[in-house]
């Protein structure tokens, strides 16, 4: 028990990471609760219902942006590490959770919540949560005072490792490998594999680089088709489980419920 208390004091409180931890927890909880509420609204269960203002559907990205602004600017203005910083961190995390739940709405500039495009919100949420976890765990030691020369050397080595891993994960992201990016942030070898393998045909990397390499573009297309035949159904089931089953083609995708 004493070891846990010492770890908490050294790596969370003394390192000034408590607001980040609170924001991360609020972010995750808000996203999960929001997803549950919208599913209940879609199924017509429970006391929840869509919100509207002036006859227009009110997406929860709207209060999310407001809460992010309040928490963000309040956190910048909050002095020290007191209760004000903690409260603003929680407010920011709640707002970020609401916004990230409708990330696809911002990305596609239309209501695609219950479509395949809408499932991008879950991918963005997982990626954001993984990045915040890295900041919370990976960079924690840098903020602790009283380190000796050997500790600083270890920290420099860790910084270099994290930067290289971040670069590899970024390349994997540009190649359209979202799941690989998420796991690669935490496991360097996974990021390396994602960075060196062929990009998905519809990715940013393929659109920008592969037009100059037709053979590589054709290899990427064939590999994507082979992967889809082998794993496409399983991946779709997982996506449907996490983000909800998309509305069949021809549906308007509206009325997803903003609780």
What pLDDT was estimated at residue 80? 66
What pLDDT was estimated at residue 151? 54
Q: What is the C-alpha to C-alpha distance for residues 140 and 12, in angstroms, rounded to an integer? A: 8
What pLDDT was estimated at residue 180? 85
- Cβ of 181: how many Cβ atoms within 10 Å? 26
What pLDDT was estimated at residue 69? 95
Per the CB < 8 A criterion, the answer to whether 120 and 106 are in contact is: no
CA distances from residue 198 to 123, 210, 213 in whole angstroms, order as listed: 20, 10, 12
Q: What is the C-alpha to C-alpha distance for residues 214 and 218, in angstroms, rounded to an integer? A: 6
Per the CB < 8 A criterion, the answer to whether 89 and 71 are in contact is: yes
Angle formed at CA 181 by CA 175 and CA 184, multiple of 5 degrees: 130
Model pTM? 0.71
What pLDDT was estimated at residue 139? 47
Q: What is the C-alpha to C-alpha distance for residues 132 and 185, in angstroms, rounded to an integer? A: 10
Q: Which residues contact 216 (CB under 8 A, 6 or more apart)?
A: 198, 210
Phi, psi at residue 82, to the nearest 5°? -80, -165
What pLDDT was estimated at residue 220? 92
- Averaged pLDDT, groups of 10, the chain, 259 residues long: 73 81 95 91 82 76 94 84 88 96 87 81 85 70 47 65 84 86 79 91 91 92 87 75 66 48
Q: What is the C-alpha to C-alpha distance for residues 103 and 147, in angstroms, rounded to an integer? A: 41
- Cβ of 185: how many Cβ atoms within 10 Å? 25
32: left (phi over 0), alpha (psi -120 to 50) or beta: alpha
């Amino acid at each position: 028990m004493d070891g846990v208390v010492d770890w908490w004091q050294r790596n969370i409180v003394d390192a000034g990471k408590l607001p980040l931890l609170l924001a991360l927890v609020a972010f995750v909880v808000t996203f999960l609760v929001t997803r549950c509420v919208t599913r209940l609204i879609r199924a017509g269960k429970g006391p929840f219902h869509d919100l509207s203002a002036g006859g227009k559907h009110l997406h929860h990205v709207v209060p999310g942006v407001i809460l992010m602004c309040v928490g963000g600017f309040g956190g910048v203005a909050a002095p020290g590490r007191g209760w004000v910083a903690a409260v603003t961190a929680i407010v920011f995390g709640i707002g970020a959770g609401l916004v990230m739940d409708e990330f696809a709405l911002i990305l596609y500039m239309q209501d695609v919540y219950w479509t395949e495009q809408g499932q991008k919100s879950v991918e963005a949420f997982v990626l954001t949560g993984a990045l915040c976890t890295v900041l919370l765990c990976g960079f924690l030691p840098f903020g602790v005072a009283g380190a000796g020369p050997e500790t600083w050397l270890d920290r420099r080595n860790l910084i270099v490792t994290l930067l290289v891993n971040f670069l590899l994960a970024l390349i994997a992201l540009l190649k359209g490998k979202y799941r690989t990016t998420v796991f690669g942030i935490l496991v360097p070898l996974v990021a390396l594999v994602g960075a060196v393998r062929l990009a998905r045909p519809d990715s940013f990397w393929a659109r920008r680089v592969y037009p100059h390499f037709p053979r590589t573009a054709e290899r990427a297309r064939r590999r994507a088709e082979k992967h889809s035949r082998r794993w496409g159904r399983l991946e779709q089931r997982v996506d449907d489980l996490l983000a909800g089953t998309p509305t069949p083609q021809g549906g308007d995708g509206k009325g997803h419920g903003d609780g």
